[in-house]
Amino acid sequence: MDFNTMSLFGMVKSKLTWLGQRQEVLAQNIANSDTPKYRASDLKPYDFEELMRKEAGQLNMVTNDPSHLPGRRVRIRDYASVVERRPFETMPNGNAVVLEEQMAKVNETQINHNLMTQLYKKHLNMIKMAIGK
């Protein structure tokens, strides 16, 4: 049984992917906190409704004849990043990274990651209980 094909596990996996990419962007912001004229960036917020809309467009058609066209599978692109246009604070060298803000976002990402992994584990245990293990 492939758990990634089940909708709940697929959604948790996509949220974990988003959280991993966000962690990379935030780490890059922190690493460039002394780079002149560097602006902090972040990913667009995770939008569950948008994800469902994209997933619905990915259904493959079933063909029963070799001459039928199978259709084209649409690929979900990676999550887009957004650069903050008007930062709250800017250093004299033009750097707009506020370390406290970035660390708060890192902490928020960590909490959400722990929540998603716990959710995944709980549902996996529920399936194990249902099959009798």
Rounded CA-CA distance 18/109 in Å is 10
Q: Could you tell me the residue range of the domain that residue 93 belongs to?
A: 3-131
Question: Would the pLDDT of 26 be above 70?
Answer: yes
Q: Is the pLDDT of residue 131 over 70?
A: yes
pLDDT above 60 for 118: yes
Q: What is the DSSP letter of 14?
A: H
What the block records as the tokens of 119 is: 């959710």
Backbone φ, ψ for residue 41 (5° rounding):
-130, 165
Domain count across the chain: 1
65-109 pLDDT, tens digit per residue, is 788 776 655 444 456 666 666 666 777 787 888 899 999 999 999
3-state helix, strand, coil in the chain (%, to 5): 55, 5, 45
Q: How confident is the model at residue 12 (pLDDT cuts 50, 70, 90)?
A: confident
| pLDDT higher than 60, residue 4 | no
Q: What is the pLDDT of residue 76?
A: 45
2 backbone φψ class: left, alpha, beta (φ>0; ψ -120 to 50): beta
